[in-house]
Amino acid sequence: MGDPRKPRKKWIGPKHPWIKERLLAEIELVGKYGLKNKRELWIAGTLARKLRHRARQLLALPEEIREKQTRALLDRLYAMGLVEKDATLDDILGITAADILERRLQTIVYKKGLARTIYQARQLIVHGHIAIGGRRVTSPGYLVWRHEEPLVDYAPGSPFKERAKEAE
């Protein structure tokens, strides 16, 4: 079995905890995307920060090295659904936490109309009623890749799937 692995923090919190404008912006995003707590928002913000940092690192490289690594990063971000096909490094520098929150399973389920509210989408996912390509996913924070997006549907055997069939 072995020792349990040491969990690493996936987020970096704000440097100053009581800035009113930031607090209001965070509250708005937490409500819009139905997040459980601000830590989920900070995880998205940290991921966006790391992507922007990687883009700045690529801009500092010599031209011949930059091209290959830039194409690889852009292809990966296109597959994740964060940028468009003809994106540039400047588009990566514009990625925000809201862009990443748009790719969460919870948001995708709500936008596809599988749930009436963003909060119901979270509950359906946690209770195991949502699957991606027939595989049940119970994490609302799962980042849905572009090729997985059409595969998001009710899980096999879910009572919601039968109701959806009856409604058709």
pLDDT at 8: 87
Per-residue confidence (pLDDT) for residue 164, from 0 to 100: 83
Q: How many residues does the chain have?
A: 168
* pLDDT of residue 163 exceeding 80: yes
Work out the pLDDT band at 167, boundaries 50, 70, 90. confident
Q: How many C-beta atoms lie closer than 10 Å to residue 105's C-beta?
A: 23
pLDDT at position 1, please? 57
Domains and CATH numbers, the chain: 20-101 (no CATH), 105-167 (3.10.290.10)
DSSP of the chain: --PPPPP-------SSTT-HHHHHHHHHHHHHHT-SSHHHHHHHHHHHHHHHHHHHHHHHS-HHHHHHHHHHHHHHHHHHTSS-TT--HHHHHT--HHHHHTTBHHHHHHHTTSSSSHHHHHHHHHTT-EEETTEE---TTPBPPTTTGGGEEEPTT-HHHHHHHHH-
pLDDT band at 132 (very low <50, low <70, confident <90, very high): very high
Q: Tell me, yes or no, if the pTM score tops 0.85.
A: yes
pLDDT in tens, 62-89: 999 999 999 999 999 999 999 999 999 9
**The pLDDT of residue 3 is above 80:** no
User: For position 43, what pLDDT does the model report?
Assistant: 98
Higher pLDDT, 73 or 162: 73
Burial of 15 (0-12, 13-18, 19+ CB in 10 A): exposed
Q: Are 115 and 109 in contact (CB under 8 A)?
A: yes
Q: What mean pLDDT is reported for the chain?
A: 95
Gap between the Cα atoms of 120 and 99, Å rounded: 21
State the Cα angle at 72 between 66 and 75, rounded to 5°: 130
Mean pLDDT, rounded, for 33-57:
98
Q: Which residues pair with 131 in a beta bridge?
A: 136, 153
What is the percent of the chain with per-residue pLDDT over 70, rounded to a whole number? 99
Segment 141-155 shows an average pLDDT of 98
